[in-house]
Amino acid sequence: MDSYLDNLPVFVDTIKSIKETIITNIVLIGQVPSPTFKEKRRTSIFMERLAEFNVDECTTDGYRNPIGIIKGTSKTKPPIFVVAHLDTIWGTDIDHYYTIKENSITGAGIMDNSIGVGVLVSLPEIFRKLNLSFESDIVLAGVIQSLGKGNLRGIRHLLKTWATPIRGAVCIESNELGRLNYYADGMTRCEIDCNISTINGWEHKFKPNAILVLNEVINQILKLRLPQKPRSRVIIGKMSGGFKHGMIANDARLGFEIQSNSDKMVKSIFNNIKDIVEGISHEYEVELKLKTLSNIHAARIKFNHPLVKSTVDVMKKLGLTPASEPCESELSIFLSRKIPAVTLGITRGENYQQTNAMVEIEPMFKGIAQIIGVIMAIDSGVCDE
Amino acid sequence: MNRSWLEKNTFHYSEFNDLNRLVEEKQRKNLKISLCLPTLNEEKTIAKEILIMKSELMTRYPLLDELVVIDSGSTDKTRKIARAYGADVYEATEILPDLEQFKGKGENLWKALYVTKGDIIVYLDADIKNIHHRFAYALIGPLILFDNIKYVKAFYDRPIAIGKSKIRPTGGGRVTELVVRPLFSLFFPELTQILQPLSGEYAGFREIFEEIPFPIGYGVETSMILDIYDKWGLDVIAQVDLDRRIHRNQDTRALGKMAFVILMTFINRKRRLGLIDLKEDLFNEMIQYNLVKNEYKPDIFQIEGHERPPIVEIPAYREKFKKSL
């Protein structure tokens, strides 16, 4: 362990020496729009680039997640997964062309998750440059249908259909360098639709306003008494509705997430909100529909798990201070399948999830060295106990 | 009119994506290849072009031997960024400083011939938002693989970036369709087979470029085609479909100025070749009008129409490259 820890600072310089190739991969893949459910073009580029770097196998699984495999030296050790989600929140009509300056890259999707995907595709070349080989096969997977209504379908399918055990996994996100996620909260993502009939009838002497109805739903959600333990919260994240300024809104939609480190509590809060929705629907005589978009179970490895401890060592060796929060991403699917995994960020930036998102180039090389260090830790057996 | 050229000499970039083959052939023929990016305030796109070309066509496949930026005096960070990413950067005024100085794209392309070492020179505009290494290798491919081809021109389906972040699906090439194509149709119908004569991406052998004059401004693409056609015929020219090119949109007034320069270049070429006779000289001012406080005010754009001679006629060049007239 210590021997490769000592090498990590040197790795940073070697990785930096091929920065043109790494940034080229980030740009060539990241500039291809890839909204959730429409990742086909980005998948093709991802495969093309992986094939260019001579991975031993390059294929897609039954769900069209693109995968590259670098064969390991051992015939018995299970594979190590390195994954990054391919989808973005931006549609095909948004300009995805990046601007590169001396120490920054700017453009839609760069922070979520073009850096992650570009680095993933660059790993075969980085391993070659660092003269690294592994006992385990390294499976490089760009997973589709991860965000929002995608509900992590890509990674769910990949792991469900993967025939052999998996040794451990690293999930790559563009930002934020220093993050160390090793636990996932239980989460239910929901939408409430409010529709007011446009036909004038006896039931509405005073026509209700869909936005105000949802406002009442929000007020009642905010009145819920949520426990501090198990740690729980409801995040009101999205709202839309109405037609024009001077007209009562007939339609409105509210998007929210229930998060808790207890699945039971998520379910309980969901039931409370369901009661609120039914009550308001009855009292206001409007149609309110509560839909569940996705569910994630709470799962974790402990802070003293050897993978987490090794990751902390790797980060400290590189001068990074680990910061941990719950993470509802590919990580949760690995953990819920009892596969030790962490999520790491590559670099720092600003304007997250804006069309002018910007990342810094220089910290990226440390971020990549950290990924390599953790893969080496897994290959040395920290997940095998 | 020879209409078979379009079929014989038109390629798609995918025909040249076996980069190992191109590198082998380049080495077998002992050729050196230079990439030149002429710039003027291109800080938004220059780094991307340099990075991708260096990574793919220098580090991974040694197809390019050098990458040179010739700048017309940018006031933004173009030169600083280009240097930071490893390009050889020159200000046009530093090259052949004893000659009278002009400013323009054609001037940069002409001076690039003096500072580059390649047997083949690839010229790419520096404002390509969707730059990909195919922009270079696909222009190089026909030059390396077909002995008769000496000059290759790009064409595209070119959407234009509009507004802040939206993309319009089709468009572009207005000056081509409204000015150049009608002129070619009237005077050189064979040349209408060149689908985008104004595209800013082309490559050719030094022996071609050094023998032709370069207008210093917008007219350089048109004059290049006319001169190559006149000296060596259409068969030394090829064109390659590079798929899509995303670039900055220009407003109608700017395109008007471009059209003016191209018309001027075209007519001067025709006259020099003895194909037309003008009773008097052309005016050198493009006059556009603005409505300012209910008054029409002329906006006059003056073109001197300077042109550099074939660089082989410059003694310093002949000395550097051991050439004789």
Over residues A276-328, the pLDDT tens digits come to 999 999 998 899 999 999 889 999 999 999 999 999 999 999 999 999 988 87
Would you call B51 and A100 a contact, using CB atoms and an 8 Å cutoff? Answer: yes
For B267-314, write each residue's pLDDT tens digit: 988 888 888 888 888 888 999 999 998 899 999 988 877 899 999 999
CA B161 to chain CA centroid, nearest Å: 21
Q: Cα dihedral sign for A276, A278, A283, A289?
A: positive
Yes or no: say if B309 and B213 are a contact pair by the CB < 8 Å rule. Answer: yes
Pick from A111-125, A316-330, B158-172: least confident: B158-172
Do the Cβ atoms of B191 and B234 come closer than 8 Å?
yes
In a domain, B229, yes or no: yes
Residues of A with CB under 8 A from a CB of B: 18, 20-21, 23-24, 27-28, 31, 93-95, 97-102, 108, 355
A5-28 mean pLDDT: 96
CA–CA separation, B193 and B190 (whole Å)? 6
- State the Cα–Cα distance between residues A235 and A258, nearest whole angstrom: 6
**Cβ–Cβ of A97/B80 closer than 8 Å?**
no
Residue B246 and residue A102: Cβ atoms within 8 Å?
no
- The verdict on a CB contact (< 8 Å) between B81 and A101 is yes
Q: Look up the ipTM and state it.
A: 0.85
Cα A18 to Cα A45, A117, A172, B286: the distances in Å are 20, 16, 19, 49
For A23, A117, A151, A252, B285, the CA distances from A30, given in Å and listed in that order, are 10, 8, 21, 33, 45
User: What's the rounded mean pLDDT across residues A155-166?
Assistant: 95
Given an 8 Å threshold on Cβ–Cβ distance, is B84 in contact with A99? no
Spatial separation of the C-alpha atoms in residues B295 and B298, rounded to whole Å: 10
pLDDT value at residue B172? 45
Residue of B nearest to A97 (CA): B129
Write the single-letter amino acid at B230. D
Question: Nearest by CB to A21, which of B43, B55, B132?
Answer: B55
Nearest by CB: B52 against A24, A102, A355: A24
Domain count, chain B: 1
Which one of B52, B54, B165 has the shortest CB-CB distance to A94? B165
List the single residue in B with minimal CA-CA distance to A25: B52
Please state which CATH class domain A2-184+298-379 belongs to. Answer: alpha beta
Measured at the CA of A309, the angle between CA A303 and CA A314, to 5 degrees, comes to 135
Kind of pairing, strands B202-205 and B151-157? antiparallel
How much is the pTM? 0.87
Domain limits, chain A: 2-184+298-379, 186-296
Q: What is the CATH number of the domain that holds B154?
A: 3.90.550.10
Does residue B310 belong to any structural domain of this protein?
no
CATH 2.60.40.10 holds for A186-296: no
Residue B203 lies in a domain: yes
Residue B205 sits in which domain range?
5-250
Give the dihedral of Cα atoms B242, B247, B249, B253; nearest 10 deg: -80
- Is residue B312 a part of any domain in this protein? no
Q: pLDDT above 90 covers what percent of chain B?
A: 71
CB nearest A100 (choices: B48, B166, B167): B48
Residue B168 counted as domain residue:
yes
Between A44-48, A348-352, B272-276, the lowest mean confidence (pLDDT) is in B272-276
How close B57 gets to chain A, by Cα (Å)? 11
DSSP designation for A114 = I
The residue of chain B nearest to residue A33, with distances taken between CA atoms, is: B167
Round to whole Å and give the CA distance between B70 and B90.
Answer: 5
Same fold, A2-184+298-379 and A186-296: no
Can you give the pLDDT at residue A204?
Answer: 57
Which token pair is A218? Answer: 């929000």
Contact partners, residue A268, CB within 8 Å, separation at least 6: none
Lay out the sheet containing A104-106: strands in order across: A99-101, A104-106, A358-360, A349-350
Contact call for B246 and A18, based on CB within 8 A: no
Would you say residue B167 has pLDDT above 80?
A: no
CA atoms within 13 A on the CB side of A301: 26
